[in-house]
Structure 1
Amino acid sequence: MTRRSLLLGSAGLALASLDTRAPRAAGANDIHIAARPARARLAGADRPRADVWAYDGRVPGPLLRLRQGEPIRILVDNRLEQDTTVHWHGIRVPNAMDGVPGLTQPPIRPGESFLYEFTPPDAGTFWYHPHANGLEQLGRGLAGAVVVEEREPIRVDRDLLWLFADWRLTAEGEIASGFGNRMEAAMSGRVGKTVTLNGSVSAGEPVRAGERVRLRLVNASLARIMALRFERHRPVIVAIDGQPCDPHEPEGGRILLGPAMRVDVVLDMQGEPERSYHVIDDFYDGLAYGVTQLAYAPGPPLRAHPFDAPLTLPRNPLPEPDLARAERHDLTLQGGMMGGGGMGGMGGMMGGAVWTINGMSMTGDGHAGMTPALTFQRGRSIVLVLRNETAWWHPMHFHGHSFLLLTRNGAPVPHRQWQDTVLMAPKDAVELAFLADNPGDWMLHCHVMDHQMAGLMTVLRVA
């Protein structure tokens, strides 16, 4: 198989935006990537390189550009000293291609390879990462983005990707050990202090007055939740988790991004030439910081008036659930420090699990023989009620499907939001709907990786 690395270069040595519309290799239906040890400069140009695990030796890994409805073959080599897999997060792949070791495929042993073959049904922004020793492998750098191109994209001047990750680094700039800390697993997870944009600390991202940019935001952090504000700019959300929504401005001007979530926004650059405007993450109280800046180039605006073109993306072929005939099911999240249920407090930390779903804990990354919490007949419409009885936030990810978010705490969710990862605040209850059309055993889990590894995971079967 020919090696076809699809990484698109950064805009400059200090500027990290990835242009997702750079020329694509003709006939690139075969891709070959390798998970292997590497070195990367995470903390800045003046800091030493860190030992990482990376796809093709790069953090993040190659940006994979696929076409909607066209088959793709991706050969993954494992050059690590432990098992790995790849999960194609948000892409509705066949069950055998989902990348959960034991549950959907054998793990890829050191020195071995696995061929993933699928046809992406949906256009949008997705990503890929391991599902074997996921906490450490993702935490050491194994992540990359996937852009599935629309057949008829909206008109913009540039299409850019920002993939965020955070890192816990030592004074020497290396990735700190201590993955799987039980106290962190019972609280908010492993949150690092160094945040990178496309693999490096970003001082500024180049823009031009008058241009319209499609910005694809991906949160590849282990646990960090982000709330992004664009100083003196008005982003319009056009897609969530790869799925088009009704274009709308984010509530309060903050774009919420839980781990594993993606949000596509359109930004009209109406700032002044030669000025810079902050992009701020202020999710955690009292800990706001600047992620980067929109750095305007000198010179006249690209156009005298704002770009006059539609913002609505073409819908993907998602099967609509029949809400009038839908089965209803409930799943309740419990545990963690200060949480509800029998796993709460320090007592639950003495064993392997500190979280439960409907009273059951599944720890680790997935394995053969996982008992489904629920079984759905193929072709049935499902309304699933998720209740968070814990004191902590949870981005809950469902494999193999996208779901329509119906209500949150009894209030209808506007803008027709289809997602694969729903961010739940403490004590939240959400209703989501989907058609159970993709057969197999599918994981539902929290994407705060410490939470998943410590029990906040289950299996839903479509038979």
Structure 2
Amino acid sequence: MFSVSAAALATMAPATGAIAAIKAITLQAQPTDIQLSGADGPTSQMMVYNGVFPGTEIRLQQGDRLNARLENALEEGTLIHWHGIRVPNAMDGVSMLTQEVLSPRQSYDYRFSVPDAGTYWYHAHYLSYDQVARGLFGPLIVTEARPPDLDRDITVQLLDLKVDPNGRFDPETDTSAFTTLGRIGNDQRAHLSDPRPVRIGDRIRLRLINTATDRIVAVQIKGLLGRLVALDGMPLAAPREYEIVTLGPGQRADVIGDVTGAITLDDVRDDVHALGGLPISGERTRRQVAVASLPPNPAASLGRPTQNVELVMQGGAGGDVHGGFAGWAFNDVSGLSGQPFTRIRRNETLTIHLVNTTAWPHAIHLHGQHFYEIGPDGVVGDYRDTTLLEPGQARNIACRFTNRGRWLLHCHMLSHQADGMATWIDVT
């Protein structure tokens, strides 16, 4: 059916020698009135952490420990998932799989170390299609022990809001959205952690995070002579040229480059939507050294796969009949059943043949570890936690499961997940 050569599945990376520190924070999930359309606009009741929209950036150094207390001040349950971080299974924040839903007026302490440098994020993982849309998310940035030489390091949260004609959050979602493209907003924007002007000649890092509930974005960056250096938090083996950076929901990309003019970010996937940018103020001498690779994160070699399995995406509007109970299914099963999609022993390698038989795109996200995208010729590609498949597309991914537990595998179009496109893998 498909195969990956053992020779292709070999990659190594050294561990970091950083000295660990502990960062303690409290994240209170609370209803808060937010002005989405500016200081003079009307307010919308959103769900946010600590009264801030979008969520406050958590920044640590590789190897540090995060002690994060979640306090639930909502009138409904909630949980936090630490997207892309290799956390212990009990810290993963998935209802029905790793943790009971946190009821109103309760708190829970998430405690874990961050083994990998890179760009990650945290978001609600209970009723996530609604809670993330209302603002329960934020960036989690893990810096390298020896970060690259930069003038600025800027996190860019790509937002997709659905608002009414008055600029208020619109909670209404047509039921057909759950079996088509999902909840697509009408107000796209980029929230930059540091919006101050840049100088021509500055070397900057843009950490792009697609926080949209369902929208795929194709980001075009002007005013920056840059290189793509990381995807989903994981450094590329070598900096890569790019024209457009396409990100499904939950995916991230890091770009490092030299400023050549006013920076603009546009989404050009369907039409041109201006997202935001950075103005120019002044100039400095441009560096003569090229953008270098980021230091690799620690990773075990993949080795020879012990299992080859197939995961077929089914359903949606226009799709064939399947055996699941909801709008979407994996292998004729909708949602989390009592049995995993597959079981595998810790440190074994699994190859999954992903097949999108539907008329709609899907961003397939694996919790707790990263996987390699495998090319049609069996060559190992990018190391990611979310892979985007267009309608009718198929792809192999390979993962060495070093993290024990019950790990969610789902479409990160959160409307698709809510309507059945989710399963799990048991790592024993």
TM superposition score normalised by structure 1: 0.84
What residue identity is the alignment partner of 1:215?
L
CA 265–370 in structure 1, closer or farther in 2 if over 3 Å, else same: farther
Does residue 393 of structure 1 match 2:393?
A: no
Q: Secondary structure at the match of 2:153?
A: strand
Gap regions ≥5 residues in structure 1: 1-25
Paired residue for 1:329? 309
2:282 matched to 1:292?
no
Deviation at 1:278, TM superposition (A): 3.3
Please say if residues 249 and 413 of structure 2, whose CA atoms lie closer than 8 Å, have aligned partners that are also in contact: yes
1:29 is aligned to 2:59 = no
- 2:182 is matched with 189
Q: 2:419 aligns with which of 438, 454, 460?
A: 454
1:128 maps onto 2:122 in alignment: yes
- CA 1:205–1:430 in structure 2 vs 1: closer, same or farther (change >3 Å)? farther
- Give the whole-Å Cα distance in 1 for the aligned partners of 2:151 and 2:378: 34
Tell me if 1:417 matches 2:351. no
Which position in structure 2 is the counterpart of 1:174?
A: 168
Secondary structure, aligned partner of 1:136: helix
Provide the C-alpha distance between the structure 2 equivalents of 1:330 and 1:104, rounded to a whole number of angstroms: 24
What is the one-letter code of the residue matched to 2:118? G
Aligned length: 409
Once the two structures are TM-superposed, the CA of residue 65 in structure 1 deviates from its matched residue by 1.1
Q: Which residue of 2 aligns with 1:308?
A: 289
Tell me the residue number matched to 2:260: 270
For 2:153, the aligned partner's letter is D
Alpha-carbon distance in structure 2 between the residues aligned to 1:29 and 1:141: 23
Q: How does 1:420-439 map to 2 (within 5 A)?
A: 420-439=385-404
Aligned residue identity for 2:422:
M
Q: Distance in 2 between matches of 1:249 and 1:73?
A: 35
State the alpha-carbon separation in 1 of the partners of residues 228 and 39 from structure 2: 32
SS in 2 for 1:184: helix
Relative to the length of structure 2, the TM-score reads 0.90
Which structure dedicates a bigger proportion of its chain to strand? Answer: 2
The 8 Å contact of residues 133 and 161 in structure 2, kept in 1 or not, is answered as yes
Unpaired runs of 5+ in structure 2?
1-19
Measured in 1, the distance between the counterparts of 2:316 and 2:146 equals: 45
2:129 aligns to what SS in structure 1?
helix
TM-superposed CA distance for 1:206, in Å, is: 2.2
Q: Summarize the alignment of residues 359-378 of structure 1 with structure 2, pairs less than 5 Å apart.
A: 359-362=332-335, 370-378=338-346
Cα RMSD of the aligned pairs, angstroms, is: 2.2
Give the conservation status (yes or no) of the 8 Å contact 1:329–1:384.
yes
4+ residue segments displaced more than 4 Å: 411-414
**Pairwise CA distance, 1:151:** 0.7
Matched, 1:100 2:91: no
AA at the equivalent of 1:196 = R
1:219 corresponds, among 210, 223, 227, to 210
The range that moved more, 83-92 or 226-235, is: 226-235
**Percent of residue pairs identical:** 35
Partner Cα distance (1:325, 1:219) in 2: 31
Aligned-partner SS, 2:260: coil
1-structure distance, mates of 2:200, 2:180: 43
Stretch deviating more after TM superposition (45-54 or 260-269): 45-54
1:54-74 CA distances to partner (integer Å, 9 max, x unpaired)?
000101112111222222211
Q: Which moved more, 1:312-321 or 1:230-239?
A: 230-239
Contact 1:396 1:446 in 2 (8 A): yes
Equivalent position SS for 2:279: strand
In structure 2, the CA distance between the partners of 1:307 and 1:144, relative to structure 1 (3 Å rule), is farther
Select the residue among 152, 155, 167 that pairs with 1:158. Answer: 152
Q: Could you report, residue by residue, the CA deviation over 1:248-274 in whole angstroms, capped at 9, with x for unpaired residues? A: 4455x0100111011000121022xxx
CA contact (8 A) 1:43 1:194 kept: no
Displacement of 1:134: 0.7
| Cα deviation code 1:308-354 (max 9, x no counterpart) | 154211111122211x3442111111111123x314xxxx9xx9611
CA positional deviation for 1:233? 3.5
1:290: Cα distance to partner?
A: 1.1
